[in-house]
């Protein structure tokens, strides 16, 4: 009598002809499961936890010294990263400026280096690549009844979000400079490293009510209030357009200037881009 369970050539022949049922499939041996050590498990937890979660883990009563050391090491790394991110994105909005705070927030504030949180020293090192010192500060003198002021304000809001390492401030023109003429509004005062590097009176050098956020960004790049264009506003543009914009700035269109301004440390007078012989009655000097 044939035993169907026997593994013989005869039974194999019977299976090929369908006389015997196929042999049951044999189970392959289970693959070896890699061994995970306690240290590997702790490291995996620490690598995915944020600073707050790591702080909670450090409060556990049953931690051994090695686990505590690892959690503390990762927590310090997370805290350092948070601090770096805060320094890089310290601002992010257009904040109101009080007249009495001008020197502290603008002149002195523009001297602070965001990477170190300290006032920049006037040191030059030929071996180091040139970089912008201090913090870019943009002061927007506005008046709500002036249409261009209303047009530029939301553009500034967008730029402040995109360039959070630059300080954007706004103040009503009449509060900043008493009797400041409406024809000079809006005005931009641009500072870096304790110096006024540019002022733009009455929006000259821009495109009036057709000014785009990209146009305004280009102006601030020219005066180094911001360090590089934001990818949020990038779009293909003809090279001739860019060069025309730069030529307008280089030629001192309207009141875009850095040399004729009379804004001083501790006092301010706004240059209007006019010659020295013209009437100066509508420009106010005052001590901050």
Name the residue ranges covered by the structural domains of the chain. Answer: 38-89, 94-115+133-231
Q: Is the pLDDT of residue 204 over 80?
A: yes
Provide the pairing of β-strand 136-142 with 167-172: parallel
* pLDDT recorded at residue 151: 96
- Residue pair 199/223 in contact (Cβ under 8 Å)? The answer is no
Residue 3 φ then ψ, to 5°: -95, 110
Measuring CA to CA, which residue among 176, 158, 160 is closest to residue 168?
160
Long-range CB contacts (< 8 A, 24+ apart) of 211-215? Answer: 211/151, 211/152, 211/155, 212/155, 213/155, 213/158, 213/159, 215/245
99 pLDDT band (50/70/90 cuts)?
very high
Q: Is the pTM of this model over 0.85?
A: no
* pLDDT recorded at residue 84: 60
Residue 112 φ then ψ, to 5°: -75, 130
Provide the pairing of β-strand 187-192 with 195-201: antiparallel
Residue percentage of the chain with pLDDT more than 70 = 66
Reported as a single tens digit per residue, the pLDDT across 215-240 is 999 999 999 999 888 877 765 554 44
Reported as a single tens digit per residue, the pLDDT across 130-188 is 567 899 999 999 999 999 999 999 999 999 999 988 999 999 999 999 999 999 999 99
More confident residue, 35 or 57: 57
Reported as a single tens digit per residue, the pLDDT across 86-97 is 555 578 899 999
- Under CATH, which number does the domain 94-115+133-231 receive? 3.40.30.10
- Beta bridge partners of residue 118, listed in sequence order: 113
């Amino acid at each position: 009598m044939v035993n169907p369970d026997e593994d013989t050539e005869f039974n194999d022949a019977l299976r090929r002809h369908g006389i015997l049922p196929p042999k049951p499939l044999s189970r392959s041996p289970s693959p070896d499961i890699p061994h995970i050590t306690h240290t590997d498990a702790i490291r995996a937890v620490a690598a995915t936890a944020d600073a707050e979660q790591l702080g909670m883990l450090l409060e556990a009563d049953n931690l051994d010294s090695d686990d505590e050391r690892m959690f503390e090491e990762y927590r310090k790394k997370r805290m350092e990263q948070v601090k770096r991110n805060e320094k890089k994105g310290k601002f992010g909005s257009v904040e109101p400026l009080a007249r009495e705070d001008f020197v502290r927030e603008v002149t002195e504030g523009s001297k602070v280096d965001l990477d170190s949180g300290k006032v920049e020293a006037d040191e030059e090192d030929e071996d180091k690549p040139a970089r912008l010192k201090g913090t870019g500060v943009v002061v927007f003198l506005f008046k709500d009844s002036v249409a261009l002021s209303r047009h530029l304000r939301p553009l500034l809001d967008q730029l402040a979000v995109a360039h959070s390492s630059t300080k954007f401030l706004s103040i009503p023109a009449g509060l900043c400079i008493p009797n400041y003429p409406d024809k000079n509004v809006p005005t931009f005062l641009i500072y870096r490293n304790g110096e006024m590097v540019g002022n733009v009176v009455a929006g000259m050098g821009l495109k009036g009510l057709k000014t785009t956020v990209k146009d305004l960004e280009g102006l601030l790049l020219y005066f180094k209030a911001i360090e590089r264009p934001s990818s949020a506003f990038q779009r293909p543009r003809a090279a001739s357009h860019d060069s025309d914009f730069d030529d307008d700035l280089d030629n001192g269109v309207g009141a875009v200037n850095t040399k004729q301004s009379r804004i001083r440390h501790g006092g301010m007078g706004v240059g209007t881009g006019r010659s020295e012989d013209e009437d100066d009655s509508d420009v106010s000097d005052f001590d901050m």
